Amino acid sequence: MAYDLMVGKSNKVKDCPDIVGAIEFDELPAISRLLKRTDASFLHRVSNLFEDQAFSLDEIEQALTCLLPLLISDLKTDERALLQKLISILTYAKWKQSCIYCVAD
């Protein structure tokens, strides 16, 4: 089961959001370890894989502000991979000037 991350006007099929990534159950330990390094609201919210979430452009900017400094931290391989994936998704949404929608499937 994945937690799909989409960028667009909404998470509705009629609005054709871009599916840009997913978070799997096996990535939860890496999210927990990243949360020990920074208390980012974005990480708290995406760690709940059973509840749909939506992030505005302001929330995307706040998430990037919290997560980008972690790139120079000494991270485990799975933490770095997850961090890079999340930063890529956030950056894509910022570039598209669209919200991020997280949908449990």
Task: State pLDDT tens for residues 54-92.
Answer: 999 999 999 999 999 999 999 999 999 999 999 999 999
Q: Is CATH 3.30.350 what the domain over 2-104 is classified as, yes or no?
A: no
Q: In what order do the strands lie in the sheet with 53-55?
A: 18-24, 2-8, 99-104, 53-55
Domain ranges of the chain: 2-104
**Is 9 strand, coil or helix?**
coil
Question: Bigger pLDDT: 29 or 50?
Answer: 29
Q: For 15-46, write each residue's pLDDT tens digit.
A: 778 999 999 989 999 999 999 999 899 999 99
Q: Binning pLDDT at 50, 70 and 90, where does residue 14 land?
A: low
Q: If 0-12 CB within 10 Å is exposed, 13-18 middle and 19+ buried, where does residue 58 land? A: exposed
Quick one: pLDDT at residue 50? 84
Whole-model pTM? 0.91
What does DSSP say about strands 2-8 and 99-104: parallel, antiparallel, or unpaired?
antiparallel
Query: Predicted confidence band at 1 (pLDDT cuts at 50, 70, 90)?
Result: low
As given in the structure block, the two tokens for residue 105 are 């499937």
